[in-house]
Amino acid sequence: MRIDDPTPGSASLPREASASPQPAVEFSFEPLTPTSFLTRSAIVHRDRLAVFDGGLRLTYSELRERAGRFAGALEALGVEPGGRVAVIAANSHLMLEAHYGVPLAGAVLVALNMRLSPGELGYILDHSGATVLLCDNELQSLAGDAIAASSGAARLVNATQYAELIERSSFVWRGVPDERGLLSINYTSGTTGRPKGVMYHHRGAYLQSLAMAFHARLHPESVFLWTLPMFHCNGWCFTWAVTAAGAQHVCLPRPDPEAIWRLIDEAGVTHFNAAPTVLTDLAGHPAAHRPDRPIHIATGGAPPSPALMERFAALGIEITHLYGLTESFGPVVICDWKAEWDELPAERRAQLKARQGVGNVIAQPVRVVGPHGSDVPADGETLGEIVLRGNDLMLGYFQDPEATAAAVPDGWFHTGDLGVMHPDGYVELRDRLKDVIISGGENIASVEVEQAVASHPAVLEVAVVARPDRRFGERPVAFVRLVPGGEASEAEIIEHVRTRLARFKAPSEVVFRSELPRTATGKIQKFVLRTQLSQALGGQDQIER
């Protein structure tokens, strides 16, 4: 059989033709969407393990099949393109499949934080207008309470029903008409009011996924452990990045240190992401040991403490420090490490690693701006607000143009985080705007004091918050958790800080605690500490211990 030749052959080059660069037929434009990574991996890695979830194993072709059938099920349930589908589930194949099945139906994923209250979840269900709520069987009671606390528009589908739907539904794989269309809505934790719905677009998730795969150096032999919640910024887009790399997703419902250490060996884990608090638990666990292969951890939310970094370095595990917000698809900034820094003394390395860093490979350069929107000097000292723009920024807050306009007053997203620009172009956070302590008319960045406290070898974790003070307005108080077996007195820690910072920045008091209150995503809840302080204070100046 001879193949007919459809190629141009000896086509002439008419000089009179127009120079328009736009082709007659659209063949060089495909909308960017993270579901395309599943298309590819279901071809390239069809028979290789995509998902390892307890007793369940899925290949990439099975993951694709299930995602397409879930899309079909959503259509059968009456979900229309643009409709919202909420999911409340621990890290699992179900939550991962939703990251593909929902967009494949042309719908919008609303991954819910499973640690919220029914009232909060009910608010989000109503605000997002979700018509379906998919849940783990373990969370069915919470899901039911959430619907009861809402206007009741969402239909509940539990994991058992989901499995039946997948079984009998037809395969659907809708194209993406507009790469800037809505992919998911991620609700912020709402520390300053009602949760806001951060709108992610396909283009941003696609590019951010490529950036994450690149910086984490994911490849087809990587094994990624889901210690970070998938409901947190869609798992920093690793829900898609791991698939882009053709790597393996290992699901873990909760970041239990014992399970993590066990899976590191059993599943051959090479990568995971976690808040420093999770890493702290991991470092202190009796099962901690040096794995038989290189492991790469990314952490964010707070800088890893020097003690934590030394502990993991001793285990042969590398930590990358990242920074981002829900509004920036997770890690928009990365503390890109340089080989030449390996030669520096440990203390200097810890300082460099504590910096949030530089924009990731697809991000626009990070800026630190003063009150009038101009860049602060890159002197490592002048405080300013960190502002962002670029393809990995949200479209805005869902149904809240007012909040969007307030967060983006000048074409730049204002993070509310205060930081400095170092002379080498690396950004370092000093504080949340609202966490700044004003003492005697001077700003004290609580993060700066925390780092000074954390540099004491006996300190495992620390949070510094303001205590109202008659004379100075506010004074810093340090809440400290010591390393196991560690010993330090209040005076010793205050003195330790005074050798590192201006005297007025040293905490007036040190409160020792065995646990610090944390958010659902593992961040220390400073507002809880502040509340405890003000309650303890009553009318007094002095907190009781």
Of residues 422-481, which lie at the interface with a copy of itself (CB under 8 A)? 424-425, 433, 436, 438, 443
**418 lies in the site for a copy of itself, by CB under 8 A:** yes
Pick 51 or 393: Cβ nearer a copy of itself: 393
Footprint of a copy of itself on 74-133 (CB under 8 A): 127
Q: What is the 3-state secondary structure (H, E, C) of 283-334?
A: HHCCCCCCCCCCEEEEECCCCCCHHHHHHHHHCCEEEEEEEEEHHHCEEEEE
**Sole binder of a copy of itself in the list 56, 148, 405, 502 (CB under 8 A):** 405
> Measured from the CB of residue 288, what is the shortest distance to a copy of itself in angstroms?
28
* 12 binding a copy of itself? (CB under 8 A): yes
Residue of 55, 290, 338, 487 that binds a copy of itself (CB under 8 A): 338
The rounded distance, in Å, linking the Cα atoms of 349 and 343 is 9
Nearer to a copy of itself, 413 or 479 (CB): 413
Q: Does 416 bind a copy of itself (CB under 8 A)?
A: yes
Determine the interface stretch with a copy of itself among 136-144, 304-312, 381-389, 472-480 (rule: CB under 8 A): 381-389
158 three-state secondary structure: strand
Least gap, CB of 35 to a copy of itself (angstroms): 13
3-state SS of 516-539? CCECCCCCECHHHHHHHHHHHHCC
Structure-derived torsion over alpha carbons of residues 240, 244, 246, 247, reported in degrees to the nearest 10: -50
Choosing from 55, 411, 484, 485, the residue that interacts with a copy of itself (CB under 8 A) is: 411
Please give the residues from 214 up to 243 whose contact with a copy of itself meets the rule CB under 8 A. Answer: 214, 217, 219-221
155 Cβ partners below 8 Å, 6+ apart?
77, 131, 132, 133
The single residue among 137, 161, 351, 364 that binds a copy of itself, judged by CB under 8 A, is 364
User: Which amino acid is residue 290, in one-letter code?
Assistant: R
d(CA 358, CA 354): 12
In the complex with a copy of itself, which residue's Cβ is closer, 8 or 286? 8
Q: Taking CB under 8 A as the criterion, which residues in 278-337 touch a copy of itself?
A: 336
- 284 CB-contact burial (10 Å; exposed 0-12 / middle 13-18 / buried 19+): middle
For the bound state, the minimum distance from the C-beta of residue 244 to a copy of itself, rounded and expressed in Å, comes to 6
With CB under 8 A as the rule, give the number of residues binding a copy of itself.
110
Instruction: Report the residue number, 144 or 416, with the smaller CB distance to a copy of itself.
Output: 416
Query: How do strand 317-325 and strand 330-334 relate by DSSP bridges?
Result: antiparallel
Binding mask 152-181 for a copy of itself (x = CB under 8 A): ----------------------------xx
DSSP 3-state of 185: strand
Extract the tokens encoding 332: 């928009």
**Torsion angles phi and psi, residue 309, rounded to 5:** -65, -40
- d(C-alpha 85, C-alpha 98), whole Å: 9
Quote the CA–CA distance of 317 and 543 in Å, as a whole number.
40
Binding mask 190-209 for a copy of itself (x = CB under 8 A): --xxx-x--x-x-xx-----
Q: Which residue has the tokens 């677009």?
A: 201
Considering only residues 58, 125, 132, 210, which one is a binding residue for a copy of itself as defined by CB under 8 A?
210
Segment near a copy of itself (CB under 8 A), from 272-280, 388-396, 484-492, 506-514? 388-396
Q: Decide if residue 374 touches a copy of itself (CB under 8 A).
A: no
Does 25 participate in binding a copy of itself (rule CB under 8 A)? Answer: yes
